[in-house]
Amino acid sequence: MARDGQEARRPHGELVADVLAVLWAAGEPLTAQQVKGALHQDLARTTVATILTRLHEKGTVARTRPGRSFAYAPVADAAGLAAGRMRRELEKEPHRDLVLKRFVSSLSADDGDALRRLLLEAEGESPAAVTGEGAAGAAGGGA
C-alpha cells in the first residue's frame, strides 16, 4: 500500500531479519555497504548501518574494524538467537515453573518427544530411555 508516492512501511522486524539472513549466508564479516548491496533493496547505507549498530548494541552481532568501516558478523545462528529470546523471556517471569508447565503442555507430541530426548542428552543419558528401549525395556521385562 503506497501513500504519497512512498512505499508502505514493512512489518516490524522484517528488515532486521533480512540483514541477519545476509550475514548468516556470508560466512564472514560484512560492512554496512556490503550488506546493503546483498539486500538488493532501495535502502540508504545509513539505514543498514543503523540496524547493524542496534544489533551490535543488543549483542546479536559482533563488529570489527578491519579498515575504515566496521564489519559485522552474527554471534549465533538463527536457532541460537531464538533460544536466547526464549531464555530472556523466561528469566523475566517470577513463576518460571508455571511458564514452563504451560509451554510444555502446549507442545505437539513430536515436539514433546524431541524435548524429552534433548533433556536426556543434556543430562548425559541415552535417548533410548525415551523410546522405552535399552535399560527401561530390560527392567520391565520380567515383571
Query: What three-state secondary structure class fits 81?
Result: helix
- List the Cα angle 74/80/81 in 5-degree steps: 65
pLDDT above 50 for 34: yes
Query: What three-state secondary structure class fits 133?
Result: coil
pLDDT tens string 56-99? 999 999 999 988 999 999 999 989 988 988 999 999 999 999 99
pLDDT given for residue 138 in this prediction: 40
Rounded to 5 degrees, φ, ψ at 63 are -135, 150
Pairing of strands 30-31, 61-64: unpaired
Span 122-141, average pLDDT: 56
| Rounded Cα–Cα distance for residues 27 and 106 (Å) | 35
pLDDT given for residue 20 in this prediction: 95
